[in-house]
Amino acid sequence: MSAKLGNNDAQPSPTLILAIESSCDDTSAAVLRGNVVLSNIVAGQAVHSKYGGVVPELASRAHQQHIVPVVQQALAEAGIDKSALSAIAFTVGPGLMGSLLVGASFAKTMALGLRIPLLAVNHMQAHILAHFIQSENDPPQFPFLCLTVSGGHTQIVRVDAPNRMTVLGKTIDDAAGEAFDKAAKVLGLGYPGGPMIDQLAQQGNDQRFAFATPKVEGCDYSFSGVKTSFLYLVQKELRANPNFVTKNLADICASYQRHVVAYLLTVMQRAISETKVKSIALAGGVSANSKLRHEFALLAEKNGCTAHIPPFAYCTDNAAMIGMAGHFQFINEEWASQSTVPQPRLVF
């Protein structure tokens, strides 16, 4: 597929895609005309915050409650009648089985009723392809390297075309988002913890505390040691001073955030040096992190690369990115069938 398909200056396609995302704890629906987003509705699920993480059974029940109003709102906001749709795209994986089933069943039923094609989208590829949604940013040129950092995944991907991606490295245990969320849980902050750590870090001294740096070969990551060193530091300091967390919250967040971001970018630097690719991109929920966005731009500058950092609306889970990936699959005629089943552990 040519790089031109994703360009902002490409001819607007008449293709109208309704996209549905339900892989984890956000129910989202979007309508896209070509690479232009006409609507992108996201319903979050506050029900999980008191448990400090996503409870799968509660997530699928909430998806069932949200999906009809969210799709109706997406169509209404786009000013599109369902009879005008060209296809329906849905997230086929990876994600939580119960959550994926709600979106998949809804998409299949609607496509069957409307007699239009169905497009089964890989959630992680969609995070990357969100860069081709029309916005004020230029899309990356192929090939590019994408650091994809979310609540469940951390990967460095070489992207040669929308349907040609190679994972150069990935985490061997926890994801970067989990490293933020679990640290936030230790600090008694709510879920998801990443945005709260980011906010608290703004006022803190990022040099106060040090954490373990994993030694992993190649372009892979490991976050379990980072997370454990965080837990041990907090436990040790709390024994000496029960008010340690409340008195030092901003410094703890700033130091931990600096450490996680530096580690993410050390491995990314390795990938840039090895591949000599000159275009680098960020994707996934953690790409909303202010420190990561800032340091990523500096990393690109240092290496003479162009940096592609997604608008906030397309960092965390959203259906617009599913629609963008679906658009490429529509052009390639990569149709799904009514017998397509969700794949919780889908890889590339």
| Partner whose footprint covers residue 287, from ligand KG4, Zn ion, none (CB < 5 to 8 Å by kind) | none
CB closer to ligand KG4 out of 87 and 319:
319
- Helix (H/G/I), strand (E/B), else coil: 140: coil
Distance between CA 195 and CA 164 in Å, rounded? 32
Binding to ligand KG4 by CB under 6 A, coded x per residue (else -) over 275-314, reads ---------xxx-xx-------------------------
Distance between CA 271 and CA 259 in Å, rounded? 19
Q: How far is the CB of 252 from ligand KG4 (least distance, A)?
A: 15
Contact present, 103 and 91 (Cβ < 8 Å): yes
Distance between CA 85 and CA 69 in Å, rounded? 18
Q: How far is the CB of 20 from Zn ion (least distance, A)?
A: 14
Site size toward Zn ion (CB under 5 A) is 2
Q: State yes or no: residue 255 binds ligand KG4 (CB under 6 A).
A: no
CB closer to Zn ion out of 150 and 171:
150
Contact present, 116 and 14 (Cβ < 8 Å): no
Cross-strand partners of 122: 93
Q: How far is the CB of 144 from Zn ion (least distance, A)?
A: 19
- Helix (H/G/I), strand (E/B), else coil: 202: coil
CB closer to ligand KG4 out of 140 and 195:
195
| Partner whose footprint covers residue 198, from Zn ion, ligand KG4, none (CB < 5 to 8 Å by kind) | ligand KG4
Q: How far is the CB of 239 from ligand KG4 (least distance, A)?
A: 28
Distance between CA 342 and CA 348 in Å, rounded? 14
Q: How far is the CB of 258 from ligand KG4 (least distance, A)?
A: 12
- Which residue, chain included where needed, has tokens 């299949």? 108
- Which residue, chain included where needed, has tokens 């149709």? 335
Binding to ligand KG4 by CB under 6 A, coded x per residue (else -) over 141-180, reads ---------xxx------------------------x--x
- Read off the tokens for 176: 């970067």
Q: How far is the CB of 103 from ligand KG4 (least distance, A)?
A: 14
- Read off the tokens for 81: 């009648």
Q: State yes or no: residue 317 binds Zn ion (CB under 5 A).
A: yes
Count, residues in the chain = 348
Q: Which of 22, 122, 150, 155 is in the footprint of Zn ion by CB under 5 A?
A: 150
Strands 279-283 and 144-149: parallel
Contact present, 310 and 204 (Cβ < 8 Å): no
- Read off the tokens for 79: 């000013």
Q: How far is the CB of 287 from ligand KG4 (least distance, A)?
A: 8
Q: Which residues contact 243 (CB under 8 A, 6 or more apart)?
A: none
Residues 153-212 that bind Zn ion (CB under 5 A): none
| Partner whose footprint covers residue 288, from ligand KG4, Zn ion, none (CB < 5 to 8 Å by kind) | ligand KG4
| Partner whose footprint covers residue 174, from ligand KG4, Zn ion, none (CB < 5 to 8 Å by kind) | none
Distance between CA 180 and CA 184 in Å, rounded? 6
Q: Which residues bind Zn ion (CB under 5 A)?
A: 150, 317
Residues lying near ligand KG4 in the complex (CB under 6 A) are found at: 24, 150-152, 177, 180-181, 192-195, 198, 284-286, 288-289, 316-317
